[in-house]
Chains A and B, each alone.
Chain A
Amino acid sequence: MQTLRRFPLKSLDGVFVCCFRKMTTVPKVEAVLIDLSGTLHIEDTAIPNAVDALKRLKSSGVKVRYVTNTTKEPKRLLHNRLTQLGFAIQLEEIFTSLTAARNLVEARKIRPLCFLEDEAKEDFEGIGVEDPNAVVVGLAPSYFNYEPLNKAFNLLIEGASLIAIHKARYYKKKDGLALGPGGFVEALEYASGVKAEVVGKPEKTFFLEALRDLKCSPQNAVMIGDDVRDDVGGAQAAGLHGILVKTGKYREGDEEKISPAPLATCFDFPAATELLINKYL
């Protein structure tokens, strides 16, 4: 049975609270996977004190990877944006679902009709797209209009395969919530009868791929994110531990939506790093 305890911790801002599930064994954490959008930043604004919190985490010696389902920008631009916000992140430390999707397309030698914003197509450079026999769906609001979706639907009923870079329901923007690609993937699945293969979070393979070159087993890794199902639920299903943060797309009561509950639910990324440093590293 899980019991929730309140655990007061000092943060750089003062006293705040983390709620966490009582564990029979305390995990020894060697690697941390950190979500980006909603966890470290929201568009062009860093989460308050996240830059310093990340420095503290990295100086503790723990291995870090940034894992993201972001498909609106190529890795290069994502890296630029984060660096400009003050985060000390290396390009190689970023693992995106776009990269995972490209790897899959290359391995299968398929020719995709891509639902990707123009900027993100940079990460798909060199992939043949003539005479498509597959549909790849990322976050592409400019293309989620009727005609392109109809074209994809017709390809699918003629035998094309469907790859979803991820199936996020929605994400947080400055001015509120916006539809992710998940609904449109569901629409295509329903209309065509073709099941999508999902590449990004919360798929198990995504988390294990992210940990692969860190040579860390899942039970010694923690995922920190704002999406209870895709970040925390997905990571825990892959054998990692999960910490939910109450920023970004988090909504009140999200921690009750998955079972088992998150290892901890923290106010924000700085609170999560303090918890890790004090308790699990």
Chain B
Amino acid sequence: MALPVKPSPWSSKSIQGVLLDISGVLYNNTEDDVGVAIDGSVEAVERLRKSGLPVRFCTNETQCTREQLVRKLSRLGFTLGVSEVFPPAPAVCQILKERNLRPFTVIHPSCDPEFADIDQNDPNCVVLGDAAKYFTFEKVNKAFQTLMSLEKPVLISMGQGKYYKEAGGLKLDVGAYMKALEYACDVKAEIVGKPSPSFFNAVLKDMGVDASNAVMIGDDIVNDVGGAQACGMKGIQVRTGKFRPSDENHPTVKPDSYVDNLAAGVDLLLQNR
């Protein structure tokens, strides 16, 4: 006797909007900064667009500006509009302006232009991004000294990622340095970017889609998938990018689905469309 088939959670047409992570889902970066597209991802994005589903690119990328990221991805075959890309830096600038904050930034030099019209004299807060090799002891120490000199220290971290994948292997991400400063200064960082709910909600608002009708596809089980689920969205975990086998049995996050890559994830979403 045939066993009853469980209906796929993706068979209903309740998904009305898709959020995609970039690094580890669309492409992996390389040391020469050119990057390499992940197999099937260019075509997968095209298929999503053709389906009529709104798509937004939700990234914690802080090693370059939005424009540079879009140009880089277009050289790999992707077609993204700058207004579809949501990195943390513009959101941070808005917060800095609203709260009269002048930052000491520890960021990749290529991200500097995002802060071009922010007053950085006489800093009264610290902003961290993925500075990679620019996370020198001197820079981090200066950030520490800045925070310790403030009566009300404010530490803003663009994401809290532990590591990310680059062609050479896994690399320490901004979260590690956020923890270093939190510990040394006994302060709590404010996270701007995934998995902060206000970040996800800003993207959903832009799409005009309710969280319950949206899905995030990402490689970071905590910040992409867990963060999205915490906001009421569905979360699909890809096995590319920074994914590690131990993520199949994560102690706290249970993705709605695991797929080998973005192409497989899009197959799942479009199977009944």
Q: Residues on A close to B: CB < 8 A?
A: 141-142, 144-147, 149-150, 153-154, 157, 169-170, 176-180, 182-184, 186-192
A232 to B47, CA, bound (A): 64
A281 to B84, CA, bound (A): 73
* New A-B pairs, 17, CB < 8 Å, besides A153-B172, A183-B144: A146-B132, A146-B134, A153-B163, A169-B183, A170-B184, A178-B144, A178-B145, A179-B137, A179-B140, A186-B179, A186-B182, A186-B183, A187-B180, A189-B179, A191-B173, A191-B175, A192-B162
B43 in contact (CB, < 8 A): no
Q: Please state if B176 and A187 are interface contacts (CB–CB under 8 Å).
A: yes
Q: Please state if A144 and B137 are interface contacts (CB–CB under 8 Å).
A: yes
* Chain A to chain B: the 3 pairs with minimum beta-carbon distance, closest first: A183-B180, A187-B176, A183-B184
Q: Which of B102-143 contact A (CB under 8 A)?
A: 131-137, 140-141
- 26 example contacts (A-B, Cβ-Cβ < 8 A) are as follows A141-B141, A144-B137, A144-B140, A145-B135, A145-B136, A146-B131, A146-B132, A146-B136, A149-B135, A153-B172, A154-B169, A154-B170, A169-B186, A178-B144, A178-B145, A179-B137, A179-B140, A179-B184, A183-B140, A183-B183, A183-B184, A187-B176, A187-B177, A187-B179, A190-B179, A192-B162
Known: A169-B186, A187-B180, A190-B162. A178 touches B141 (CB 8 A): yes
A150 to B162, CA, bound (A): 11
A190 to B161, CA, bound (A): 10
Q: Please state if A183 and B179 are interface contacts (CB–CB under 8 Å).
A: yes
Known: A145-B136, A177-B148, A183-B180. A191 touches B186 (CB 8 A): no
- Determine the chain B residues whose CB is within 8 A of the CB of A147 once the complex forms: 133
A16 to B160, CA, bound (A): 48
Smallest Cβ distance from A172 to chain B, in angstroms? 11
Q: Residues on B close to A: CB < 8 A?
A: 131-137, 140-141, 144-145, 148, 162-163, 169-173, 175-177, 179-186
Of chain B, the residue at the smallest CB distance from A178 is B141
A184 to B137, CA, bound (A): 10
A146 to B183, CA, bound (A): 18
Known: A153-B163, A154-B169, A169-B183. A177 touches B145 (CB 8 A): yes
A179 to B182, CA, bound (A): 12
Q: Please state if B183 and A182 are interface contacts (CB–CB under 8 Å).
A: yes
- Determine the chain B residues whose CB is within 8 A of the CB of A180 once the complex forms: 184
User: In terms of DSSP, what is the predominant structure of the interface of chain A?
Assistant: helix
Q: Please state if A145 and B137 are interface contacts (CB–CB under 8 Å).
A: yes
Q: Please state if B180 and A184 are interface contacts (CB–CB under 8 Å).
A: yes
A146 to B172, CA, bound (A): 8
A147 to B171, CA, bound (A): 9
A153 to B131, CA, bound (A): 16
A170 to B183, CA, bound (A): 10
- Determine the chain A residues whose CB is within 8 A of the CB of B145 once the complex forms: 176-178
- Determine the chain A residues whose CB is within 8 A of the CB of B132 once the complex forms: 146
Partner of B135, one of A146, A182, A191: A146
Of chain B, the residue at the smallest CB distance from A141 is B137
Known: A169-B186, A183-B183. A142 touches B137 (CB 8 A): yes
Smallest Cβ distance from A71 to chain B, in angstroms? 15
Of chain A, the residue at the smallest CB distance from B162 is A191
Partner of A183, one of B163, B172, B175, B181: B181
A187 to B173, CA, bound (A): 10
- Determine the chain A residues whose CB is within 8 A of the CB of B162 once the complex forms: 190-192
- Determine the chain A residues whose CB is within 8 A of the CB of B185 once the complex forms: 169
- Determine the chain A residues whose CB is within 8 A of the CB of B137 once the complex forms: 141-142, 144-145, 179
Smallest Cβ distance from A218 to chain B, in angstroms? 28
A169 to B175, CA, bound (A): 18
Known: A142-B137, A183-B181. A190 touches B169 (CB 8 A): no
- Determine the chain A residues whose CB is within 8 A of the CB of B141 once the complex forms: 141, 178-179
Of chain B, the residue at the smallest CB distance from A183 is B180
Smallest Cβ distance from B252 to chain A, in angstroms? 13
A142 to B185, CA, bound (A): 21
- Determine the chain B residues whose CB is within 8 A of the CB of A144 once the complex forms: 137, 140
A101 to B186, CA, bound (A): 26
Partner of A179, one of B133, B144, B170: B144
A169 to B169, CA, bound (A): 30
Q: Please state if B183 and A157 are interface contacts (CB–CB under 8 Å).
A: no
A12 to B57, CA, bound (A): 69
A191 to B163, CA, bound (A): 6
Of chain B, the residue at the smallest CB distance from A167 is B183
Known: A144-B137, A146-B135. A191 touches B183 (CB 8 A): no
